[in-house]
């Protein structure tokens, strides 16, 4: 900030309240006595992170060139998403804007406390927030001692998350117990939730809403085919799955909860079963959807810890049903039709240029085909195997012809025993070569 902390703050505790790899937080007070928490980025951490990210990007590019599975999972894209996430967490101005957005969203809710940002003491390297004092939400004994209704607290957590996802389309992506505090309040049985750390957030854009609603409709109908289509549509990977096989693998997951209403389905267990199938087919979920599923599982786990009888589906069920119905609303249908029409017009506009480019390529001597190194290795392997089989076939043909000539000829003076031995050797050689050809041909198919 260009000045010693003693000149910016009335007091500043040099011992950190908490430390992490990117920064640490210190308690301080402003000139008017307001208690704040000052989050300070570690010196040199940006350069270190950029170096690490460059190494990761290079490793991902090497893996994608030499390993098909890495290319299918788009590890280079994953590395880029990691880089974007880390760079966003390094910029405390972006985190401050996220905090302001959450504070505005929950300004009318007395059960959620989002700290105020003090912009005069905030830069890209320093973030100053109102200090929140409370009981750590995972401290069950402390909550009970303070008279907190843990059932009401679990419901409040779930309601806040549902509002973020389905109403605000902007959610806190890292709600672990260290980022949630409970402030006892005589009016609120479950206390007031204090929310901190806004470096990792997610957004629910119209495309993600479509994917999410399609998946929710499939789950509510227990329709594995529709679920397979929804996951395939959501996947950003280059490989398209076999929908028939994917449906067969999703069917047991659907049957596992077939007897339970949607409101009673354990979200965490269901998502874990679903992700097993997603990994098996190398589907790559969009970053925002992956963050969303992770966040929902974290919140459900926390809520069940607070209230063992908690059912997340009962809270988000009405929101999910509303989202599913929204998919078939006239305006939504018209929007999708308009988007499809725009894409069709764009494709039609590109088609003449692409045809001309193909015509030019053919006139210049033909089109070129690009192959990855891994694909070239596979091609060379096929050519090598074909050459080997051709050589063996030639030897086999020569052996059979020589054997025929031996049997047909009756030269004078050749011992019968020698002729018998040559015939036997020829039969064995021909049979061995024919067997090899048959075995390699079967293996190739």
> What secondary structure, in 3-state letters, does 337-357 show?
HHHHHHHHHHHHHHHHHHHHH
pLDDT at position 445: 47
* Residue 98 near residue 115 (C-beta atoms within 8 A): no
Distance from C-alpha of 118 to C-alpha of 105, rounded to nearest angstrom: 18
Which residues are part of the catalytic machinery?
174
Residue 302: name the closest of 170, 168, 172 by CA: 172
Q: For residue 323, give both structure tokens.
A: 């989202």
Report H helices in 165-286.
206-221, 224-234, 243-256, 267-280
User: Backbone phi, then psi, for 323, in 5-degree steps?
Assistant: -65, -40
Residue 57's pLDDT is: 92
Give one DSSP letter per residue of 65-77, joined into a string.
HH-HHHHHTTHHH
Q: Which SS3 state, helix, strand or coil, does residue 189 take? A: coil
Q: What is the pLDDT along the chain (445 residues), one digit of tens a residue?
A: 888 888 889 999 999 999 988 999 999 999 999 999 999 999 999 999 999 999 999 999 998 888 877 776 778 888 888 898 888 889 999 999 999 999 999 999 999 999 999 999 999 999 999 999 999 999 999 999 999 999 999 999 999 999 999 889 999 999 999 999 999 998 998 999 999 999 999 999 888 888 888 888 888 788 899 889 888 888 887 777 888 899 999 999 888 877 777 677 788 888 888 888 988 888 888 888 888 989 999 999 999 999 999 988 788 777 766 766 666 555 555 555 555 556 566 666 666 776 776 666 666 665 555 555 555 555 556 666 666 666 666 666 666 666 666 655 555 555 666 566 666 666 666 667 666 656 665 554 4
The pLDDT of residue 258: 75
CA distance 98 to 41: 17
Please, are residues 289 and 211 in contact by the beta-carbon 8 Å criterion? yes
The DSSP result for 286-339, as a single string, is -HHHHHHHHHHHHHHHHHHHH-TT--HHHHHHHHHHHHHHHHTSHHHHHHHHHH
Q: So what CATH class is 5-43+91-203? A: mainly alpha
Q: What is the pLDDT of residue 426?
A: 65
Closest by CA to 204, choosing from 251, 233, 170, 227, is 170
Which of 310, 221, 217 is closest to 257 using CA atoms?
Answer: 221
What pLDDT shows up at residue 110? 94
User: How many other CB atoms are found less than 10 A from the CB of residue 415?
Assistant: 8
Cβ pair 272, 62 in contact under 8 A: no
- Are 89 and 256 contacting, i.e. CB atoms less than 8 angstroms apart? no
> pTM here?
0.70
Domain ranges within the chain, ordered by starting residue: 5-43+91-203, 206-333, 378-444
Cβ distance 42 to 23 under 8 Å?
Answer: yes
> Which parts of 42-196 fold into alpha helices (H)?
45-66, 68-72, 75-90, 92-105, 140-145, 150-162
Tokens in use for 327? 């998919």
pLDDT of 423 reads: 65
Distance separating alpha carbons of residues 177 and 351, to the nearest angstrom: 54
Q: With residue 383 as reference, give the H or E element that holds it.
A: helix 373-408
Per-residue confidence (pLDDT) for residue 68, from 0 to 100: 77
């Amino acid at each position: 900030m260009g000045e010693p902390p003693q000149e910016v703050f009335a007091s500043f505790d040099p011992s950190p309240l908490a430390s992490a790899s990117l920064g640490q937080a210190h308690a301080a007070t402003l000139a008017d006595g307001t208690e704040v928490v000052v989050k300070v980025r570690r010196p040199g951490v940006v350069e270190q992170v950029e170096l690490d990210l460059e190494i990761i990007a290079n490793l991902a590019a090497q893996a994608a060139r030499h390993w098909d599975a890495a290319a299918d999972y788009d590890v280079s894209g994953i590395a880029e998403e990691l880089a974007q996430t880390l760079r966003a967490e390094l910029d405390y101005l972006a985190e401050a804007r996220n905090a302001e957005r959450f504070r505005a969203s929950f300004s009318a809710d007395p059960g959620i406390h989002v700290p105020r940002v003090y912009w005069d003491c905030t830069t890209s390297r320093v973030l100053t927030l109102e200090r929140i004092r409370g009981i750590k939400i995972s401290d069950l004994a402390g909550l009970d001692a303070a008279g907190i209704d843990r059932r009401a607290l679990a419901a409040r957590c779930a309601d806040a998350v549902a509002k973020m996802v389905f109403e605000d389309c902007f959610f806190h992506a890292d709600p672990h117990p260290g980022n949630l505090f409970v402030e006892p309040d005589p009016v609120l049985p479950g206390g007031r939730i204090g929310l901190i750390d806004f470096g990792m957030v997610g957004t629910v854009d119209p495309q993600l809403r479509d994917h999410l609603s399609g998946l929710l409709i499939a789950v509510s109908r227990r329709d594995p085919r529709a679920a397979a289509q929804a996951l395939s549509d959501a996947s950003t990977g280059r490989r398209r799955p076999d929908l028939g096989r994917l449906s067969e693998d999703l069917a047991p997951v659907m049957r596992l909860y077939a007897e339970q209403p949607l409101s009673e389905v354990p979200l965490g267990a269901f998502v874990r079963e679903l992700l097993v199938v997603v990994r098996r087919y190398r589907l790559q979920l969009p970053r925002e959807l992956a963050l969303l599923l992770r966040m929902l599982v974290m919140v459900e786990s926390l809520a069940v810890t607070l209230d063992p009888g908690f059912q997340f589906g009962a809270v988000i069920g009405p929101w999910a049903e509303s989202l599913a119905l929204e998919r078939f609303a006239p305006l939504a249908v018209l929007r999708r039709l308009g988007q499809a029409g725009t894409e069709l017009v764009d494709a039609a506009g590109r088609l003449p240029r692409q045809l001309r480019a193909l015509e030019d390529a053919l006139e210049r001597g033909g089109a070129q085909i690009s192959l990855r190194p891994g694909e070239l290795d596979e091609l060379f392997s096929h050519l090598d195997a074909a050459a080997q089989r051709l050589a063996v076939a030639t030897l086999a043909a020569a052996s059979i012809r020589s054997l025929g000539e031996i049997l047909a000829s009756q030269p004078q003076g050749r011992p019968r025993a020698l002729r018998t031995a040559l015939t036997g050797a020829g039969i064995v050689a021909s049979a061995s070569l024919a067997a090899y050809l048959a075995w390699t041909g079967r293996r190739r198919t």
